[in-house]
C-alpha cells in the first residue's frame, strides 16, 4: 500500500464516521413526517391539529422506523398524490410522498390534508411490513395486498384503508374549520 493510499483511506474513514454520527443524531426528537416545503409543512401541522385521524397516522409513523418526506412534485400517472419510493438510511426506512401542488386547491386545505393523509396511510401500510425496504419490495407488497386500479398504469395500487383515511381526514378537517368559523 502506498502512503498516498493510506492517507486517502484514513480521510475517508474520518469523513464517514462523523457524518454517520450526525445523521443518527438528527433523527432523534424530530417528527418523522417532514417536508422541505414550508407550505406543505404548515398544512401537515394544521392537519395534525384539525384531524384526529391525521394525528393518529403521524403518531404511528413517529413510533416506527420510518421517516416520511412529503414533497411537492408530480406523480406521473394523473393523480394528485402518491407514495413514490422506499429506501433505507441506517436503521431507518425513508419513504417519499409527492403532492402535485398544481392539481390541488390550496383554498380547500381540508382536501389537501386528505390527500396527504391518504398517502400517510399508505406509508403506515408499508411500515407495518418490516420486509419492505425498497421499491421492489414495496411493489410486491402492494401487488399481493392491494387493489390494482384500472387506468393503464400497472404500478397503480390502492387500498380501502387509504381511501377511508383520506375521506375521514377531509371530513374532520372541514368540520373543524366550520366550527372555528362559527365561533
Residue 124 confidence (pLDDT) above 50: yes
Task: Identify the CA nearest to 83 among candidates 104, 68, 93.
Answer: 68
- Percent of the chain exceeding pLDDT 70 equals 78
| pLDDT 10s digits, 16-35 | 333 333 333 345 568 999 99
- In this prediction, residue 136 carries a pLDDT of 96
Q: What pLDDT is recorded for position 30?
A: 81
Q: Which of 88, 45, 92 is nearest to 65 (CA)?
A: 92
Identify the pLDDT of residue 38: 95
pLDDT digits (tens, 9 = 90+) for 27-63: 556 899 999 999 999 999 999 999 999 999 999 999 9
Q: How far apart are the first and last CA of the chain?
A: 76
Cell of 31: 417528527
What is the pLDDT, as a whole number, of residue 181? 65
Tell the residue number behind the cell numbers 443518527, with chain if given.
Answer: 24
Amino acid at each position: 500500500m502506498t502512503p498516498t493510499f493510506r492517507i486517502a483511506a484514513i480521510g475517508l474513514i474520518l469523513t464517514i464516521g462523523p457524518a454517520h454520527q450526525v445523521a443518527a443524531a438528527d433523527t432523534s426528537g424530530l417528527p418523522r413526517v417532514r417536508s422541505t416545503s414550508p407550505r406543505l409543512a404548515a398544512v401537515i401541522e394544521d392537519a395534525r391539529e384539525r384531524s384526529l385521524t391525521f394525528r393518529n397516522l403521524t403518531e404511528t409513523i413517529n413510533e416506527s422506523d420510518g421517516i416520511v418526506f412529503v414533497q411537492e412534485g408530480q406523480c406521473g400517472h394523473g393523480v394528485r398524490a402518491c407514495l413514490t419510493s422506499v429506501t433505507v438510511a441506517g436503521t431507518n426506512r425513508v419513504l417519499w410522498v409527492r403532492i402535485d401542488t398544481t392539481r390541488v386547491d390550496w383554498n380547500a386545505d381540508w382536501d389537501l390534508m386528505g390527500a396527504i393523509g391518504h398517502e400517510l396511510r399508505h406509508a403506515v401500510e408499508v411500515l407495518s411490513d418490516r420486509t419492505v425496504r425498497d421499491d421492489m419490495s414495496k411493489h410486491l407488497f402492494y401487488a399481493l395486498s392491494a387493489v390494482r386500479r384500472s387506468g393503464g398504469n400497472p404500478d397503480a395500487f390502492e387500498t380501502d384503508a387509504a381511501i377511508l383515511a383520506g375521506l375521514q381526514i377531509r371530513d374532520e378537517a372541514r368540520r373543524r374549520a366550520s366550527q372555528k368559523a362559527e365561533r
